[in-house]
Amino acid sequence: MASAAWLLNGIAPANMPSANAIAVLRTDATEHAADAPAKNRVTTDGERGGICRGSRLVMLTEEKLREMPGTNVRQAQIGADSSYAPRATRSASVQFVRRYTADVGRIAVQAAGSFSARLLYMLPILALSFAIAAAATLLIIRSSHLHGALSADHDLSGPQKFHSRPVPRIGGFAIFSGFAVGTALLAWRYPSMRNAAALLLLCSTPAFISGVIEDLTKRVSPLRRMLATLLAAALGAWLLGAQIKTTSIPGLDQIAATAVGGYVLALLVVSGVSNSINIIDGMNGLASMCSAIMLAGLAYVALQAGDLLVAAMAIAVIGAVLGFFMWNYPFGLIFLGDGGAYFLGFMLSELAILLLVRNPDVSPMFPLLLCAYPVWETVFSMYRRKFVRGRPVGMPDGIHLHSLIYRRLMRWALGSKDAAVLTRRNALTAPYLWVLCSLSVVPATIWWDDTVMLQIILGLFVVSYVLLYWRIVRFRTPRWLVLNSRAEPQPPVTRPE
């Protein structure tokens, strides 16, 4: 069979298909390049490899192909038909296979390794980051009597305070520690990702440190924290090339196309998402689980696009977040704090931008729909404070959506001052917002390469959010959302004499 063939020689783990002499693909790169839509083609000098997802062509650079577990690309050879040789020699190592059919897609996916196999190969990173974060969180909780004067949140009466006792608010330390160790394992297992992983960890440091200083001193103004987040975003744009070059939003595309516009938009997006995660951090498990849900969607799409760097980094953060979450929810033994919130917001936004930069087939609307809940909560809060209540946009208030759900949907606890009842009321609030967050994340992961569909779903999400908020404010909440049943009375605790 006259053909073009990939010979991918290297280490192939037992749970992955062999990468040796995979498939013989009959194709003419020049003839079939025009078959795929323009948005599915990469035409840079760095083109080296490609895989198909069903009938959609996903192009990979040689660098990303080298990142795939069990695939150490050494050479590409052309089959028996010598007529293909001149076209193959233009590539330094691997010739693109551009057949735009489902059959070629199936064979190429086998060469790259199945989705489940690549995910399974990353489970050690998830497990290690989880274990380190869980252990670090427990250590912080058990030693709170030593550092509580600095680390604990003693404000029990603020507009967004729903805890009944001082609680350590430096959970960001544990998450950062888990992520750092997970990143070290990633760098050891995938040497080709070592530099990018280390740079991303470095870039996140200003946002994390500014938040931690605020958690310890309570003296870092919102402006200074925002400047630190902008610095982190600037480092990412400079060192990692995390710039926004397209938005699919009329008017912004012209700005993004300029040399400065891509930098500016990246800075604004990273700063805005970081602040939005901090805003929704008002209930036990709310910001952490929503971040894990969004990062899971990001990792899924990254794996679909063949971007193992973004997927692995997102999975490392997920593991660290879940290690913290098991102590934060439902009893609120520790809080995320500004350090954790700004770190999670930075990682979420920075990885989303990198996904767009490294994978042109991913729609620019995907990250926006992925983060629709925290982003729209922030935008709506700014509108409410400025235009409805006539207050500065940076002034905290107690009428965020999660605050309204806490006060008006948990009716069984109205009037109670018992600490156990308040803790249970707090814990029952977060699942409402987890579902709301998932309503944007799930469609985003399904139609991640369909800009029009993502725009439609984003519009429906915004309308649904505003309608729900309006009905709760007007005391017209649907009855099926309201919890009226009271907690069962607990028998008194008696101690034997």
* C-alpha–C-alpha distance, residues 445 and 297, integer Å: 6
Q: Tell me the average pLDDT across 6-13.
A: 32
- pLDDT tens for each residue of 471-494: 999 988 888 888 875 544 444 444
Lowest mean pLDDT among 53-67, 223-237, 295-309: 53-67
- pLDDT tens for each residue of 192-242: 999 999 999 999 999 999 999 999 998 898 899 999 999 999 999 999 999
* C-alpha–C-alpha distance, residues 204 and 376, integer Å: 23
For residue 54, pLDDT over 80 is answered with no
Residue 439 banded pLDDT, cuts 50, 70, 90? very high
For residue 157, pLDDT over 80 is answered with no
* C-alpha–C-alpha distance, residues 81 and 494, integer Å: 88
Q: Tell me the average pLDDT across 446-469.
A: 96
Comparing 146 with 91, the larger pLDDT belongs to: 146
Question: In the block, which residue shows the tokens 């390794």?
Answer: 113
Comparing 25 with 116, the larger pLDDT belongs to: 116
Q: What pLDDT was estimated at residue 408? A: 86
- pLDDT tens for each residue of 373-429: 999 999 999 999 888 888 888 777 778 999 999 888 886 666 677 778 888 888 899
Q: What pLDDT was estimated at residue 391? A: 85
| Domain assignments of the chain as residue spans, ordered by start | 4-113, 122-481
Q: Per DSSP, what are the bridge partners of residue 6?
A: 76
Which among 153, 154, 227, 158 is positioned nearest to 396, based on CA atoms? 158
Q: What pLDDT was estimated at residue 455? A: 97
Using alpha carbons only, give the angle 176, 177, 178 rounded to the nearest 5 degrees. 95
